[in-house]
Structure 1
Amino acid sequence: MTDRTLFDRFRLADLDLPNRVVMAPMTRVRAAGDGLATPSMATYYAQRASAGLIVSEGVQPSLVGQSNPGTPGLYTDAQVASWRPVTEAVHVNGGRIFAQLMHGGRVSHPETTGVQPVGPSAVPVGADVFTPTGMKPGPEPRALALAEIPEHVTSYADAARRGIEAGFDGVELHGANGYLISQFLSSSANLRTDSYGGSISNRIRFAVEAVGATVDAVGGSRTGIRLSPGAGIWNAHETEVPELYAALLTELARFDLAYVHLEATTDEEVLIALRDAWKGTMIVNPVFPGGPSKADRKAADHWLDLGADLISFGRSFIANPDLVERLRVDLPIADDDEATWYAGGDQGYITYPAYAHGA
C-alpha cells in the first residue's frame, strides 16, 4: 500500500501538477476544415483544466498521417495559429496541456486524406474505418520504402516543434492502439524483412527513432509516449509482448522522457514488471479488456498502490468537466451520451455542466 493519493501535487519534468489526475487523449472530431482547432475546442479543454495534466486528442503530424475526418493537425502555420487560443485558454484557467501526436498509418482512408494510407507493410487493417461518408473497409496501405521511413520519423519531431510554438507544454507520441508506431511494433501489421521488421530490436526501431527525433526537437522533458502492450487494437497484434515492451523501455530510458503512458491492456503482472523496469514517471490508464468501461477511483487507487505516478481518465472526463473535484469529494459521476461522441457541434461536447450543489 502507498500513502499517495490522486490529489497530491506532483513534479512532472519541468511542470508542477496540482494533482495526479490526467485527462487522457480522446478523439472528438470537432476540428474545422484543414485540421484547424476551433473556439469550442478552447472551451472544451479549458473546462477541464483542473486536471493535473491534459493530453489532447490525437493530432495528425502530416496529411497522410490523418486517421479520422474532423481531427486537428500540427503541420501548417494556420493549424499552429488555431491552437494558440486553445492552449492559452487552458493556461489562463490554471492547466497544463500536452499535444498527442497521432500518425494513423494504415488506419485511414483516401476519402479522408485524398491519398493512399501508408504502413510498415501492405497489410490492410481488416476492419471498417471512419470516412467523411461513414464507415468503410480500410484499404490496403502502401508499404513504406526504406528510404521513406525517415520522413515519417521526423514528422513527429516537426509537429512537436509546431506544438511548442502553438503553446503546448509538451507532446505525447501515440505509440498505442494500432496506429503507425504500434503497427511497426506489431508482428501482424509489420511483415518487413529489413531493419524495421522481424526481430524485437527491429520492430522497436521506428518507435525509438521517432522518440529520439522528437527529443532532439523539443527536449526529453517535453516528450512522452503512450503504449498499449498486447492490445491488438485495429488488428495490430504483437508477439513476445513482455520482451518487446521491456526492450522498448530499455531503449527509451536514455532519452530522459517526461513520462511513459501505459494502457492496462495486458496481464497485470506484465504491466507491473514494466512499471518496475521504467525508472521515470509512469502514467497508467487503468481501463482494461473485461474491466470497467470508465476509469474510476477504485481502479486509480489500485494502480497508485502498484506504483503508477499518475492516473489517466478518458471517458469519465467527457460528461464531467469537474472530474477532479467529483473524485475528491466523492460526488456522483455523470454519464456521457455516446451518440454525441463524434457527432460534431457543441452538444455533448461543451454542454456538460459542473456538479450542481443543492442550496
Structure 2
Amino acid sequence: MKFTSFPRLASLRPPPILLPARRFLALRPASPHVARQTIFSAPSYDIPLTQKAVTFDAIRGPITIQKAWPVTQPEELLPGQVLVRVVYTGVCHTDLHAWLGDWPLKNKLPLVGGHEGSGYVAAIGKQTNTDLKIGDAVGIKWLADSCLHCEECRKGYESSCAEAKNSGFSVDGSFQQWAVSYANHLTPLPDGFPLEEAAPILCAGVTVYKALKTAALATGEVVVVPGAGGGLGHLAVQYATAMGYRVIAIDSGEDKRALLASYGVEDFIDYTQGDVVKAVQELTGGHGAHASIVVASGAQAYEQALQYLRPHGALIAVGMPPDGDIKASVFWTVVKSHRIIGSYVGNRQDAIEALEIAAAGKVHTTFTIEDLDNLPSVFERMRAATLNGRVVLDCQ
C-alpha cells in the first residue's frame, strides 16, 4: 500500500464557479452514445395509447416487460402534472430495494420503478403554472413532488415534506416510455447536455453533491469516501475534487484503483489489505480526515469512519446497509465534537448545481447503456455486486 505525504498543495484548488452550463459544453468530449438517440426535442409529440413499461405487482414478484401499458393522455393530466417522453433512465439500488421490499417503507403496487429519467416534455396539464414548454429537456428525480408550503419545503428540505411523492416508489417512475411527473420538481437539463449522461446525475450525482455540501468543508480539507469505486462513490470523488477537497478513496481491487486513478484520485486504500483507520491516519499526518462521505453499503464503514475522523470532523451518512446501526461513543462524540449527519438526496437547487458541474466537464459518469427490457438482468447483477459503474436503460 502506497501512502503519500500530507498536505498536497496541488490539491488546494478553489471551488468551481457555477456559470451557466452551456458556456462549458464546447470543452466536453463528444458522448460515445449520442448516435443511439432517435428521439429529440420537438414542438409536439404523437402520444400513443399504450407503451412499453417494466412493472411488478408484488414484492419480490415477477418483473414483467409490459408491451401495452397505458399512456396517460394530455387531457387526463391534473393541474401541475407533466407527461415526459422518457429517452433514458438510470438504475439505482433504491429501485432494487423497492422490488425486494427490504426498506421499512412500503411502495405502491403495482409499480413502475425508476427515478433517474431524462427526456422531453410532451404535454402539460391544464392550469399548470410553469415555465416549462413542450420539447424542453428535463429530468425526473427521486423527489417527484412536494407541497412547497411547509417549513421543510420553505427551508429547502423538500425531500422531508410530509406530502412528498417519490418517483418509482409512491408514484410510477421512469422505467417506461411515457411518464407522468410534476412541473414543480422536474429539473431542466443544461442545453446540449447528453440525456444519457444526465440520467445518473439525477439521483446518484445529486445525492453525493448534496452530501458534500452538508459536510461544510473548506478548500483543501480532507474527505474520505468509503465505497469510492461504486455508482455513488465514483461520482462523489469527482464532485469532491471539483469542490476543491483532497480525496482519500476506500474500496477494493485493482480495477477500482485504476478507475479512481482515471479521475485523478491519488490516495487509495484497499480495505481488504490492512487497517483502514491506520491508513487514513498515516495519509493525514496522524490528524485524521475532516469528513467521511459514507456511500458504502456495509455497517463497518460507519464504525471505521468515526475512528479516523479528526476533532470537529463530520460523518455524512448516505449508504444504507440493511438493518445497519451507527454505534458511536457518546463521550468521544462530545469530546471530539464530531458531527453525525444523514444526507437524503438534494433539493431543486442542488440538482441544478450538480448538473451544471457535470455539464461543465468536471464530472463524468462511468456507465453502460442497455435496453429497457434488460432491467431484470440488471437487478440480478446488482444483487450479485457484479456491476461496474452505473447502468442507463434506453427507453426509445
TM-score scaled by structure 2?
A: 0.26
Max Rg structure: 2
* Greater length-normalized contact order (CA 8 Å, ≥ 6 residues apart): 2
TM-score scaled by structure 1?
A: 0.28
Q: Which has the higher strand share?
A: 2
Q: Which has the higher helix share?
A: 1
